Amino acid sequence: MPHHRVAELLGDGISAELSASVHTIAAVLPFELEFVPVDLSHEYRDRHGLAAYDEAVRVVLDLGTALKYPTATTRESPNKVLRERLRFSVIHRPVCTIPGLGSNFKARIDIDVVRVATGGTYDDPGRRIGLDTAVSLRVIERGPSRAAARFAFKLAQLRGTSVVSTSKYTIQRATDGLFEETVKRVAEDYPAIPYRQELFDALLAGIIMRPERYNVIVCPNEYGDFLSDAACGLIGSVGLGDSANYAFGDDERVTTAMFDPAGGTAPDIAGQNLANPTAALLSLANMTRHLGHPKECEALREVLFSAISDGESTRDIGGKLSTTEFTRVVEERLKSALR
């Protein structure tokens, strides 16, 4: 039986309940996942300071793959610290319509948001100048932009779809202009992949009016953050989004990968067996693909979506099941699917 050791970064709020759900489903898979736990909870970070991140980074770099649960942002954002220290340059967030799930948006959406993980306005908290003015520095780098572009085109090649690059390149001519220039150069290496540029505001309207025109979308940091949350809102819940973070070597191969649910710690429901583990289980599925098991990844995704479509879901998306009850449903369906 294949055996994989992966880091498990434990967080706050509903983290423990999500971890329990992941372990239950991982036990069904036809290979062994050995989780190496690392405490990144608020309490542990408060007691140990930067040493908490030192430990997490050491374990993740040693194993190469990690599954992370939501962490509270207190003095700093753990996600931002990990992205910087693990040198992640690309964030991938897939978002697709789940049949049977109620939403104000009735059209079908199936997009992959590929986001530059660094730069934009997020790397500089800014500063006040006097009482009435504030400034921040916006940085776009060619290296991470190239990595995101190449990841987007490889993904489109794998899925037989198209690529759209988006930003405000007519206004942010220097920064977004550099990003678009970089993507365009990468596009030349993939002449068979349909590719176009769109302004970000026009793209937001386009996804709502004609979602079938959008497949893989590549964009700078903050645009990808806005877009992926908005897309999750269109399918019915931000809690259904999962995320993957990648670092690359000089040969453009993935050296480090971290998978995590995109939602927050949900302290208001923590410990009440109400959390929706769907995004954490989708993270597990995508990690499974990364580890070389694409069939098992698809099987898990399909049983998750079919359970929700059949009304067997948690309360936040219209169902009646607790976290453990929903996990049990997915467990039994996955056993059947793998047989």
The CATH number covering residue 148 comes to 3.40.718.10
Please report whether residue 241 resides in a domain: no
What pLDDT shows up at residue 212? 95
Distance between CA atoms of residues 286 and 295, nearest Å: 11
Distance between CA atoms of residues 109 and 121, nearest Å: 28
Distance between CA atoms of residues 177 and 199, nearest Å: 11
Tokens of 79: 């996600």
Last-in-domain residue among 177, 200, 235: 235
pTM of the full structure:
0.93
188 and 80 together in one domain: no
225 and 109 together in one domain: yes
277 and 325 together in one domain: yes
Strands 195-199 and 163-167: what pairing? parallel
Q: Is 108 exposed, middle or buried (0-12, 13-18, 19+ CB in 10 A)?
A: exposed
What pLDDT shows up at residue 1? 82
Instruction: Go through 6-30 and write b for each residue having 16 or more CB atoms within 10 A of its CB, e for each that does not.
Output: bbbbbbbbbbbbbbbbbebbbebbe
Number of domains in the chain: 2
Please report whether residue 135 resides in a domain: yes
Please report whether residue 243 resides in a domain: no
What pLDDT shows up at residue 19? 98
172 and 269 together in one domain: no
Please report whether residue 131 resides in a domain: yes
Please report whether residue 250 resides in a domain: no
Q: Per-residue confidence of the chain (339 residues) as pLDDT tens digits?
A: 899 999 999 999 999 999 999 999 999 999 999 999 999 999 999 999 889 999 999 999 999 999 999 999 888 889 989 999 999 999 999 999 988 887 889 899 999 999 999 888 887 888 999 999 999 999 999 999 999 999 999 999 999 999 999 999 999 999 999 999 999 999 999 999 999 999 999 999 999 999 999 999 999 999 999 999 999 999 988 778 899 999 999 888 999 999 999 888 999 999 999 999 999 999 999 999 999 999 999 999 999 999 999 999 999 888 999 999 999 999 999 999 998
Distances (CA, A) of 298 to 159, 196, 287, 326, 327: 13, 29, 11, 19, 17
221 and 113 together in one domain: yes
Q: Angle at Cα 38 formed by Cα 32 and Cα 40, nearest 5°?
A: 140
C-alpha closest to that of 300 among 312, 311, 314, 286: 286
Last-in-domain residue among 192, 220, 235: 235
Amino acid type, 235? I
Please report whether residue 96 resides in a domain: no
What pLDDT shows up at residue 100? 81
The domain in which residue 136 lies consists of 103-235
